[in-house]
Amino acid sequence: MNQLDALKQFTTVVADTGDFKQIDAYQPQDATPNPSLILKAVQKPDYRTLLTDTVAQFRGRPLDEIVDRLLVRFGCEILSIIPGRVSTEVDARLSFDTSATVTRGERLIELYQAQGIHIDRVLIKVAATWEGIQAAEQLERRGIHTNLTLLFSFAQAVACGQARVQLISPFVGRIYDWYKKSAGAQWDEAAKSGANDPGVESVRQIYNYYKKFGIATEVMGASFRNVGQITALAGCDLLTISPELLATLASSSTPLERCLSPQAAQALDIAPVNYDEAGFRFALNEDAMATEKLSEGIRAFCVDAVKLEQLLLAA
């Protein structure tokens, strides 16, 4: 049995790509494209027609609507390949606007439903700011499930659990990047690999907390830099993995053991935590890594959103 098949025994495997023609070979359950991945995909000849066809069909409509229709077009193509759910992201420029995020999420769902897609097959992806978490709570109450992204801290995870969101995506690789850069020449790669990787430690803490207190929100590790980060989180509810790392797992026969389990979490001595807005903002502010990576992530997604709009305007 290869490592990918072994991982699937413990964890739901998700494809982290907008390049849906790469997905089928690895048979993931779900997929998590984002505007950055779709921007990358539409610049390839194989996907260019999705962009030009969408523009031709909806020319004259507001640009934000055309963007959403393109995202949904990709989502529908992906859903024709996978058995599970696709995540579709709300414009990152709305990350601090609860009302606008709710409105955009509702429109994305309406566009999917117009294509005959059941509401349960779509996760609306929202940045895990305070405003984004409140928007996700409102969407969940309306039966629209959410995926809280750009999640780097325990405080964000706790607030998401309180909001009863469907799923969170803690970013393993970006946490690792920050600590490695911060340590500089003092970084010891061997000592900070596998279970000791700071990104892995963050996801393990969140997973154990959720399982200890029966929080139903799913934990999906994301943003991996190497296979060691993935195998150290075997047993996590879901892991979203790039096609390149899926290929590496599929080509390896190294034995893989479960590292996370609800039973082990139940045995841990963990204190419950609750956050109101002030407490959340203070806790996030106290975490320099999470504060920096959340801001950086939103800025990067905004840049790619503008680039995608420029491609649509030029089509």
180 is catalytic: no
In angstroms, rounded to a whole number, what is the distance separating the alpha carbons of residues 93 and 100? 10
Where exactly are the structural domains of the chain?
A: 3-314
CB 307 within 8 A of CB 177: no
Could you tell me where the beta strands, DSSP code E, fall in the chain?
12-15, 30-31, 86-89, 122-127, 146-151, 167-170, 218-221, 238-241
pTM, to two decimals: 0.96
> Residue 34 has what pLDDT?
82
Q: What is the pLDDT of residue 147?
A: 98
Q: For 3-314, CATH number?
A: 3.20.20.70
Structure tokens that stand for 306 in this block: 């503008």
Among 8, 40, 125, 307, the one annotated catalytic: 125
Q: Which stretches of the chain drop beneath a pLDDT of 70? A: none
In sequence order, what are the beta bridge partners of 147?
Answer: 125, 167
Q: What per-residue confidence (pLDDT) applies to 33?
A: 87
pLDDT confidence of residue 20: 86
Task: Spell out where 10-74 has E strands.
Answer: 12-15, 30-31
